[in-house]
Amino acid sequence: MLDRRGFIATGVSLAAGARVLAQQAPTTDPAARPKLRQSVCRWCLAGLELDAVCSLAKRCSIESVELLDPEDIVRVRDRGLACAIANGPSSISKGLNRLEHHEAIVKRAEILFPQIAKAGCERVILFAGDRAGLDDRTGLWNCVVGVRRLLPIAEASNLVMAMELLNSKVDHKDHMGDRFAWGLELSQTVSSTRFGLLYDIYHMQIMDGDVTRSLTENRPWIRHIHTAGVPGRGPLGVAQELNYGAIIRALHDAGYRGYIGHEFVTQGDAESALKAAVAECLG
């Protein structure tokens, strides 16, 4: 690859060299950088009717409303929006980490997954479940068993499953899937393009930190992203500790092309907060 020293050595003018280098270097201009798609979580706007949420999303240049059941996925798509990820067959507290939960989750998936696919969504969320005295190693292997039981159902419906990792310090005190290393081992053990992680930046900053490196070095296992301000789960911006713009730019440069789902709670003007978050996360 030509550099300035090479141009000088071959007698090419510095001006010409600068022009070539400018064409080859990665752009840092936000206006010229390809944009990552952005989404908003339905539950964060629970005070609004779904049609109002769709209108708000459009005003904020948000392309998706997520964490929906099949009937609401249809409603959102009728309004010209996508659903980046759907509600799944497991709950936060009763997930795949216990074998006794598997039968009910599998039966629910057999009904739900085809409905999600028919409604027009390509991803579905999963949860590990609470510990309730269970050790993390046993819980991980139980999750491997459970995910593998779900894989043929997901394959038949052309769905990708994403397990969300949650913090156990503040919001979900007994949750098992609370460390990125645990989720990464689970993903690598299952080893399927139909399964990976929903990396919630808010939750993982509380538990692990090291967000940018974790995301960029393990990008192939990341199926979806959530945002929120730390601490407090408020809007993105200077009142919280993360530089979301830098994180999202690094994630984009590492090859991520999925959605960024905003999952923060506002006390005031939701539209202003969402517009600011979209601007922060252009990618």
Answer with the residue of higher pLDDT: 35 or 224: 224
- Give the pairing type, strands 222-227 and 160-164: unpaired
**pLDDT tops 90 at residue 18:** no
| pLDDT at position 163 | 98
Which CA distances in Å does 58 have to 76, 80, 228?
11, 9, 20
Highest mean predicted confidence (pLDDT) among 18-32, 116-130, 256-270: 116-130
Query: What is the pairing mode between strands 222-227 and 64-66?
Result: unpaired
pLDDT, tens only, 155-208: 999 999 999 999 999 999 999 999 999 999 999 999 999 999 999 999 999 999
Amino acid (1-letter code) at residue 47: G
* C-alpha–C-alpha distance, residues 148 and 145, integer Å: 5
Looking at residue 35, its pLDDT comes to 80
Low-confidence winner among 7-16, 64-73, 171-180, 193-202 (lowest mean pLDDT): 7-16
Alpha helices in 32-98 (DSSP H): 50-59, 70-78
Please report the pLDDT score of residue 44 as a whole number.
96
Percentage of the chain lying above the pLDDT 70 cut: 88
Of 185, 196, 267, the C-alpha closest to 229 is 267
What does the alpha-carbon distance between residue 240 and residue 51 come to, in Å, rounded to a whole number? 30
Query: What pLDDT, on a 0 to 100 scale, did the predictor assign at position 268?
Result: 86
Q: What is the reported pLDDT for 282? A: 86
Give rounded-to-5 percent helix, strand, coil for the chain: 45, 15, 40
Query: For the chain, what is the radius of gyration of the CA atoms?
Result: 21
Calculate the alpha carbon distances from 69 to 56, 81, 119, 231 in Å.
Answer: 19, 15, 9, 29
pLDDT of residue 19: 38
Nearest-angstrom CA–CA distance, 97 and 93: 10
Helices (H), the chain: 4-9, 14-24, 50-59, 70-78, 99-119, 136-157, 180-190, 201-207, 211-217, 244-253, 270-280
Q: Are 66 and 44 in contact (CB under 8 A)?
A: no
Q: What is the pLDDT of residue 27?
A: 44
Does position 16 have pLDDT exceeding 90, yes or no? no
| Reported confidence tier of residue 13, pLDDT bands at 50, 70, 90 | very low
How far is the C-alpha of 143 from the C-alpha of 191, rounded, in Å? 13
Is residue 102 over pLDDT 70?
A: yes
Mean pLDDT of all residues belonging to the chain: 90
- Where is average pLDDT lowest: 34-43, 109-118, 159-168? 34-43
Whether the predicted pLDDT of 67 surpasses 70: yes
232 in Cβ contact with 263 (< 8 Å) = no
Domains of the chain: 35-280 (3.20.20.150)
